[in-house]
Homo-oligomer: A and B are copies of this chain.
Amino acid sequence: MTSTDDPSTATPTTAVSGVADGWDDPEYQQGVVDLLGVLAYGELSAFERLSDDAAMAPTLTDKASVAAMAVAEFGHFRHLRDRLLELGVDPETAMTPFVAALDAFHESTSPADWLEGLVKAYVGDGFAADFYREIAVHLDPSTRDLVLGVFSDTGHSAFAVEQVRAAIRADPRVAGRLALWGRRLVGEALIQAQYVAAEHDALAGLLIGGPGRPGVDLAQIAEVFNKLTTEHSRRMASLGLAS
């Protein structure tokens, strides 16, 4: 299995400063290109999704807050795209293999209202950040810094938490609906993540390792999932929701 229709065009052609041990492994290079591609399209579609959410904002101030979140995601997209260009990889080629899975995720989790949009932004982005941080552990320092930077908190979490808690105070019945919504988000994310991992060996290899490159074993994978679940529950609780 390969990661793109034409893997030769999605493989770095130039040496990049700051990439360290293991970079000369073509399988690792392909894994990094896949990672940057899926992250870049993830950020571009996060921009679109948050812009759509802005249309549902109850006030102009809220609209501007969500638009600012969208703009921050686009900033992350720019960093990832620039790194792909630096590696001599066409961003469009790197992103295309991941469009179907990410679009499917967003279509299956299209928020019905403002609050569902906020929960998705907070819970979904948090879950994605935890997941990619686990992968980042196994990356060369330069790629790791880029990934960690993309997922550094942009300070928008507080906004979502505040709004959702206020809505629950005003009408406690919304908590049940939003709790189910949070569970559905994670379920759909895991379905698409499994699909992506199965289709992209090099990307999965960043986590599970490869010849001469240590990765995590089965017990550690269970531990990663445990961590992701714990953090997810913590975020749901901070919103005032059962997980």
Point out residues on A near B: beta carbons under 8 Å.
Answer: 41, 44, 47-48, 51-52, 54-55, 59-61, 63-64, 67-68, 70-71, 74-75, 77, 81, 91-92, 95-96, 99
Complex Cα spacing A61 to B60, Å:
30
A69 to B216 alpha-carbon distance, docked (Å): 42
- Report yes or no: B41 in contact with A60, Cβ–Cβ below 8 A: yes
Closest B residue to A62 by CB, please name it.
B92
| A59 neighbours in B (Cβ, 8 Å) | 92
Q: How far is the CB of A38 from chain B (nearest CB, A)?
A: 13
Contact A68 B60 (CB under 8 A): no
The residue from B41, B47, B61, B70 contacting A92, defined by CB atoms under 8 A apart = B61
22 A–B contacts from the bound complex (CB under 8 Å): A41-B60, A44-B63, A47-B51, A47-B67, A48-B51, A48-B54, A48-B55, A48-B63, A51-B51, A51-B52, A51-B54, A52-B52, A60-B91, A60-B95, A60-B96, A61-B92, A64-B77, A64-B91, A67-B77, A68-B74, A71-B71, A71-B74
Q: Contact: A48 with B67, CB < 8 Å?
A: yes
What number of copies of this chain does the assembly contain? 2
Expressed in whole angstroms, the Cα–Cα distance for A135 and B60 within the complex equals 25
Residues of B within 8 A of A61 (CB): 91-92
Residues of A contacting B: mostly: helix
> Shortest Cβ distance from A70 into chain B, in angstroms?
7
Residue of B nearest to A93 (CB): B60
CB distance from A126 to the nearest CB of B (A): 23
Q: Using Cβ atoms and an 8 Å threshold, which residues of chain B touch A91?
A: 60-61, 64
- In the assembly, what is the distance between CA of A71 and CA of B95, in Å? 21
Neighbouring B residues of A71 by C-beta, 8 Å: 71, 74-75
A77 CA to B55 CA, complexed, in Å: 16
Q: Which residues of B contact A68 (CB under 8 A)?
A: 74
Residue of B nearest to A50 (CB): B51
